[in-house]
């Protein structure tokens, strides 16, 4: 069975990836022994590629993601973590006060190291920002993001439903299809 090693300190991300990958017979564990170096860049692809190239061992996975708000020209994007830590959800909602266009999307870029090369997979989920934080599940911007076609925020829905819809889940499923095309279903390293 292929066992991916996910370089992250975020258990929520690992859980979501696990749920997305389980139907493909691919496992994933948290890799805490390697230091993830995050360069500052406007490109998620560049951040992921750089982090992986420093430690390119087979089946190592790095993900970077962000929330891109339409009316703010994509802000905070790759700076989502910093903005979350500094102004938080309340600060973001304040920037959106009186703004009619509340459209936004999450984008995830997952990188996989295999045979000394890096392969990237992308997932995007569109939605709108709520007026107020709602729900207690998930992490980060989950309480203010309502995915398209739903009435609840990511934080209000269970992790199983979020894992079906999320940008991260989409990127990991694309990775799973690629790995399956190389190794066959449920086979591998």
> Which positions touch ligand IMP (CB under 6 A)?
64-67, 80-81, 84, 106, 138-142, 154, 166, 168
Partner residues linked to 30 by β-bridges? 6
Q: Choose the catalytic residue: 64, 65, 70, 142.
A: 64
Beta carbon of residue 147, minimum distance to ligand IMP (angstroms, whole number): 10
Distance, in Å, from the CA atom of 40 to the CA atom of 167, rounded to the nearest integer, reads: 21
Concerning whether 58 is annotated as a catalytic residue, the answer is: no
- Which is nearer to ligand IMP, 59 or 105 (by Cβ)? 105
- Which is nearer to ligand IMP, 84 or 105 (by Cβ)? 84
User: Which residue is nearest to ligand IMP, using beta carbons?
Assistant: 140
CA dihedral 159, 160, 165, 171 (to 10 degrees): 90
**Strand 117-129 to strand 145-147: parallel, antiparallel, or no bridges (unpaired)?**
antiparallel
Partner residues linked to 76 by β-bridges? 68
Beta carbon of residue 25, minimum distance to ligand IMP (angstroms, whole number): 24
Joined together, the tokens standing for residue 79 give 């700076």
Beta carbon of residue 3, minimum distance to ligand IMP (angstroms, whole number): 22
For residue 166, give the nearest of 83, 67, 41 by alpha carbon: 67
Q: CB neighbours (10 Å) of residue 57?
A: 12
- Which is nearer to ligand IMP, 86 or 187 (by Cβ)? 86
- Which is nearer to ligand IMP, 6 or 106 (by Cβ)? 106
Beta carbon of residue 139, minimum distance to ligand IMP (angstroms, whole number): 6
The residues annotated with a catalytic role in the active site are 64
């Amino acid at each position: 069975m292929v066992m991916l090693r996910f370089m992250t300190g975020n258990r929520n991300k690992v859980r979501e990836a696990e749920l997305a990958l389980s139907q493909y017979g691919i496992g994933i564990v948290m890799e805490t022994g390697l230091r993830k170096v995050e360069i500052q860049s406007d490109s998620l692809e560049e951040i992921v590629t750089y982090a992986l190239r420093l430690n390119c061992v087979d089946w190592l996975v790095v993900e970077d993601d962000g929330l891109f708000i339409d009316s703010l020209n994509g802000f905070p994007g790759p700076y989502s973590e910093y903005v979350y830590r500094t102004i938080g959800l309340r600060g973001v909602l304040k920037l959106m006060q009186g703004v009619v266009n509340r459209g936004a999307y999450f984008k995830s870029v997952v990188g996989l190291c295999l045979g000394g090369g890096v392969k990237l997979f992308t997932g995007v989920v569109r939605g709108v920002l709520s007026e107020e934080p709602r729900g207690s599940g998930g992490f980060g911007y989950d309480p203010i993001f309502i995915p398209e076609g739903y009435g609840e925020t990511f934080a209000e829905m269970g992790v199983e439903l979020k894992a079906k819809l999320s940008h991260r889940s989409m990127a990991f499923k694309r990775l799973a299809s690629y790995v399956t095309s190389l190794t066959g279903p449920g086979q591998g390293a």
